[in-house]
Structure 1
């Protein structure tokens, strides 16, 4: 597993206090961030360095934690890209031009 981050480490990175509500929020953001990074990387998830995957989850979770509840059109629509996590993961993602099979 490429993400080794814990909810406690995420709370520290985002400077979130230890109240029950904030712990639950950090746990939720960690679960979502991990799933989003895993989906974004696909089969490259397992071989991505832990430090890179962890930082991408921190960036994504921080962006989601601080974004407003009401959207302004598409201003906050792509959290992975706007947080910088997508660019961080770009060298580890497998890119393909298309099918190499018989047409």
Structure 2
């Protein structure tokens, strides 16, 4: 196996794809969102960490749980069902006036 040496100009070795741009924009918007949450709800660093961790844990659990239904019914119907369930569940936190009011009815 022959390894190609890196070129003298590092800019020639760099490839920026649309996927990289979308990933970077998503990360930047996520950082802004969580920073705004901390400011708006006056969260401590620990509360912000719990909020970020909860979002990540929920994402992992959701992705693990969506595999079997997607195999059985197809990705599109499962994504449509998830979107239909997400809309009503996301409307409650939008009405929150402070961090503790999210769990109140």
Higher helix share: 2
Bigger Rg, which one: 2
Q: Please give the range of the TM-score, normalised by the shorter of the 2 chains.
A: 0.3 to 0.5
TM-score w.r.t. the length of structure 2 is 0.34
The higher-RCO structure (CA 8 Å, 6+ apart) is: 1
